[in-house]
């Protein structure tokens, strides 16, 4: 690694901007992405992270329900969606099945359910409302983080309602907040290639704007590692930052690493460790107005997630009890981390684990007590996409 003097100076200028809380611009972000000294970049992101959160790393005990994988959209990076009902592996859950998912975990200290679906052709809007109602009825204290902006946009078109009408109805049925999925990459060049037939960047942002105005907190994401350029990644971050300046409704930015198995883009190599860490670090530095940066360990692996805590990440997506979307794309990570394993993972990296609820209220803070019976049973990382010719 050789860093030119000019680059060192530029980095130092950016460091000063960061410390003076001056927002970074597109050129700054692109420069940081390419800056050869990974550790200097990480160190700067860590400074911001520690400034905001000290040694705290948040986690949340939740589980996922994906009520259907039938989907009208045909995103090239997706291995989850089955386009038509009746196609192999296509499914749609009954309300009883959905309720069953919660009943199975009734005794577990789950505080949140994360609900994301395909864009189903002909389920009535009532089915979505009932999904929320049935869960709320089963456990009134549960927080429902549900429906991406892409789904909200789809409901609005399909059922002839405004975004606000859709959201209000869902809120009445029990919606507590919205996940940040479906953002993918906003830039029209990449978006056209990736997912031409779903909500546009403007529509996605408008849904979140509406949600924020209705008092909903939401998250935001970025899918990286497909065909997008570094400029397009930074551009994406800037668009999110602009909306955040306007509404302040985003809680967390979650970069999502592309998984190349079982989808139309399986030939791409996928992002790698250094790319993951750079993305978190640049994300932390660009998003000066978003509180949290979250690593979703299901995608990048437990080990990279642990290191990411030093590259700007202050939140590790919690004990995911059931997860379908990424495992169909070949994620080779354990299906669920136990709470103790997660705490250990955080502790070993010199951080203090903090259990939060969806809205970042602190529920528990690690006091360093001994953790019995914990062991990462299968601590491998997602890499099944790169298979070697088998020699026997």
Shortest CB 381 distance to other proteins, Å = 4
Shortest CB 280 distance to other proteins, Å = 12
The C-alpha torsion from 226 through 229 and 233 to 236, rounded to 10°, is -100
Rounded CA separation 10/196 (Å): 37
Rounded CA separation 276/238 (Å): 18
Shortest CB 279 distance to other proteins, Å = 12
Rounded CA separation 217/215 (Å): 6
Shortest CB 181 distance to other proteins, Å = 23
Q: Are 63 and 320 in contact (CB under 8 A)?
A: yes
Nearer to other proteins, 37 or 322 (CB): 37
Nearer to other proteins, 162 or 335 (CB): 335
Would you tell me which residues interact with other proteins (CB under 8 A)?
A: 1-2, 36, 38-40, 42-43, 46, 269, 272-277, 300-304, 306-307, 309-310, 332, 344-345, 348-350, 371, 373-381, 383, 386-388, 391
Nearer to other proteins, 19 or 121 (CB): 19
Nearer to other proteins, 200 or 374 (CB): 374
Nearer to other proteins, 129 or 376 (CB): 376
3-state SS, residue 94: coil
Shortest CB 209 distance to other proteins, Å = 35
Q: Are 94 and 118 in contact (CB under 8 A)?
A: no
Shortest CB 212 distance to other proteins, Å = 34
- Tell me how crowded residue 360 is: count the other CB atoms within 10 A of its CB: 15
Nearer to other proteins, 50 or 231 (CB): 50
Nearer to other proteins, 37 or 165 (CB): 37
CA distance to 42, 91, 175, 310, 377, per residue, from 380 (Å): 24, 29, 35, 20, 9
Shortest CB 72 distance to other proteins, Å = 34
What is the SS3 assignment for 333-365? Answer: CCCCCCHHHHHHHHHHCCCEEEEECCCCCEEEE
Q: Are 110 and 321 in contact (CB under 8 A)?
A: yes
H or E element at residue 195: helix 188-195
Rounded CA separation 67/148 (Å): 13
Shortest CB 332 distance to other proteins, Å = 7
Shortest CB 258 distance to other proteins, Å = 13
Nearer to other proteins, 100 or 273 (CB): 273
Q: Are 339 and 373 in contact (CB under 8 A)?
A: no
Q: Between β-strands 362-365 and 352-356, what pairing exists: parallel, antiparallel or unpaired? A: antiparallel
Nearer to other proteins, 15 or 247 (CB): 15
Q: Are 214 and 167 in contact (CB under 8 A)?
A: yes
Question: Which residue, among 189, 185, 148, has the nearest Cα to 166 in the 3D structure?
Answer: 148
């Amino acid at each position: 690694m050789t860093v030119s003097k000019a680059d060192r100076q530029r980095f130092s200028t950016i460091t000063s901007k960061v410390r003076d809380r001056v927002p970074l611009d597109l050129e700054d972000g692109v420069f940081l992405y390419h800056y050869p000294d990974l550790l200097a970049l990480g160190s700067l992101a860590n400074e911001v992270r520690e400034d905001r959160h000290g040694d705290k790393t948040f986690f949340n005990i939740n589980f996922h329900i994906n009520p259907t994988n039938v989907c009208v959209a045909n995103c090239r990076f997706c291995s989850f969606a089955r386009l038509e009902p009746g196609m192999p592996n296509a499914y749609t859950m009954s309300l009883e099945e959905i309720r069953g998912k919660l009943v199975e975990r009734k005794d577990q200290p789950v505080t949140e359910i994360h609900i994301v679906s395909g864009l189903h052709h002909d389920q009535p809007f009532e089915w979505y409302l009932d999904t929320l109602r049935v869960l709320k009825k089963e456990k009134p204290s549960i927080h429902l983080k549900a429906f991406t902006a892409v789904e909200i946009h789809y409901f609005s078109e399909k059922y002839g309602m405004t975004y606000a009408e859709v959201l209000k109805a869902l809120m009445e049925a029990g919606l507590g907040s919205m996940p940040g999925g479906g953002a993918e990459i906003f830039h029209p060049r990449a978006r056209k290639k990736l997912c031409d037939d779903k909500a546009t960047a403007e529509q996605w942002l408008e849904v979140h704007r509406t949600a924020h105005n209705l008092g909903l907190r939401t998250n935001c994401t970025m899918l990286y590692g497909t065909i997008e350029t570094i400029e397009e990644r930074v551009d994406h971050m800037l668009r999110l930052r602009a909306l955040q300046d306007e509404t302040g409704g985003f809680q967390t930015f979650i970069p999502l690493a592309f998984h190349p198995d079982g989808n139309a883009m399986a030939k791409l190599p996928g992002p790698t460790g250094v790319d993951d860490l750079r993305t978190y670090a640049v994300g932390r530095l660009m998003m000066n107005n978003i509180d949290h940066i979250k690593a979703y360990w299901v995608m990048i692996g437990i080990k990279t997630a642990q290191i990411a805590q030093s590259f700007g990440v202050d939140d590790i997506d919690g004990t995911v009890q059931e997860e379908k979307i990424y495992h169909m794309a070949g994620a080779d990570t354990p299906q669920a981390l136990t709470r103790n394993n997660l705490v250990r993972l955080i502790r070993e990296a010199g951080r203090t684990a903090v259990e939060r609820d969806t809205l970042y209220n602190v529920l528990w803070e690690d006091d360093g007590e001994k953790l019995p019976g914990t062991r990462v049973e299968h601590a491998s990382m997602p890499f099944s996409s790169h298979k070697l010719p088998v020699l026997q």
